[in-house]
Amino acid sequence: MRNRIPIVFAIDRNVIVPCAVTITSLLENADKDTLYEIFILCEESTLPQEDRMMLSEAFADHGQAEIHFVDVGDAYSDVPEMQRVTKATYYRLLIPDLFPQYDKVIYSDIDIVFQQDLADLFRTSFPNDELIAAILDQAINREYYFQSDLPEKIGKSVRDYFNAGFLLMNLKQLRAENKVEEFRSLSRKKFPQNDQDVLNIVCNGRVQWLSSMYNFQTNHYANYMWGRSESGIDFTELVKKATLHYTFRNKPWNSLDCCFADAWWHYYRISPVFDNQFYFMRQYQQIEAYRNDFHNARVKTLIINLLGRAKKSVLKLIGK
């Protein structure tokens, strides 16, 4: 009997390629007995039918995936103005009501690369009727990175504020406690971290904390390099097997400055959306960046030497 794992994404047409890469990584690392039921939350104006067809056909022949699109209409069209995110991020708050056929699902952002099968995690989740399974948000945890007062603004601390980019959601319990209505009510307010704050407020104290293996965020890299990594974590093992989450605004597909971008590009190269011109242009840009860095370093050295000589000449002229 196959393990059927429902997993939900929320996108618009601007992130079709990253979404396809995330799905590729998910399927490439699926155990032979795992079947992923992939649901993509969207709306007609931001993800028209031709884009849905392209994405659906890209994985049509894969035996371990079923892709479905769920139109949310104009849901959350009235959310406050947001920075650096689209309203699609709020769609995950609808999941308990959108999927009454499931007791639990996985939600994932699309700036993620999977390197492991998720069946064991899915099977063993929510032993104590927790509402959410997640890990700490490393971007705001002052113990490991920079100081932040964002959690305190919503009555949380850095030690119990989770990142909402990868979640297991206990739909049965969320529905039983009518949490979707709380989501809707809070979403009308403006929070620093948008719907992630909403989830943290509503699910406060009801979180199953996961291993970093399932949401290895960008700041984990800095933690390790600065000797501030969590105890008991084998960094080398994590890099090979963890779910990698590119949490900063610099993503592998839009920036040359992104930690462990090579993992993303590996799955891009084997994805059904691979484009030769785009890929080789990025490699060319990388080479040019290295050349420019080298050139700039040499120019800087030359300027420093010239200034040093000029200073000596001036001192000599004034007799010092």
The whole-chain average pLDDT of the chain stands at 83
**pLDDT for 10-42, tens place per residue?**
999 999 999 999 999 999 999 999 999 999 999
Contact 187, 90 (CB under 8 A): yes
Record the pTM: 0.83
Q: What is the pLDDT of residue 53?
A: 95
Does the structure show a pLDDT above 70 at 81? no
Does the structure show a pLDDT above 70 at 150? no
* Tokens 């994405």 belong to residue: 55
Does the structure show a pLDDT above 50 at 142? no
Q: What is the pLDDT of residue 147?
A: 45
Q: What is the pLDDT of residue 71?
A: 94
Q: What is the mean pLDDT of residues 66-89?
A: 79
Confidence tier at 146 by pLDDT (50, 70, 90)? very low
Q: What is the pLDDT of residue 24?
A: 98
* Mean pLDDT comparison of 42-51, 111-120, 206-215, highest-scoring range: 111-120
Does the structure show a pLDDT above 80 at 185? yes
Does the structure show a pLDDT above 90 at 87? no
In the chain, the percentage of residues whose pLDDT exceeds 70 is 74
**pLDDT for 221-266, tens place per residue?**
666 665 555 555 677 777 788 999 998 888 999 887 788 889 999 9
**pLDDT for 186-225, tens place per residue?**
888 887 788 888 999 999 999 999 988 899 887 766 666 6
Q: What is the pLDDT of residue 288?
A: 63
